[in-house]
Amino acid sequence: MKPHRTAVVGALIDNWLLSNRIQVNETMELDSPEAIAGMVQANLGVSIVPDLAVKPEDHVQVKRLSLGPDAPTRTLGLVYHNDQVKTQATDVVFAALLQVIEQGGVGAAKS
């Protein structure tokens, strides 16, 4: 199982597999890392998925292994028009997202 190949993450994973000469027997392509993790938890295969910066509260318990120093990476961003009326609201949302990421995800212990 892997993310859909047309998604950015799917393309990163495909390129990493190719560069490491790893052949896989694909059984399905899914669009959601959460759906993939659920399938792995149900013993329906293994997968490569991104480590989510914001973890859902009900994240599944699966074994996680690093792909090593040459693991693919991606940069996430928040894009908006500076002249928007809602710029202040966007700044508040961005600050809240950063706080959740720094705390280790949704539902992490709060101090």
pLDDT in tens, 8-49: 778 888 888 999 999 988 888 887 777 888 888 888 888 888
Please give the average per-residue pLDDT across 43-56, as a whole number: 77
E strand segments, 5-110: 29-30
Distance, in Å, from the CA atom of 94 to the CA atom of 86, rounded to the nearest integer, reads: 12
Amino acid 90: pLDDT: 82
Average pLDDT along the chain: 77
Percent of the chain at pLDDT above 70?
79
Query: What's this model's pTM, rounded to 2 decimal places?
Result: 0.59
Cβ atoms of 53 and 75 closer than 8 Å = no
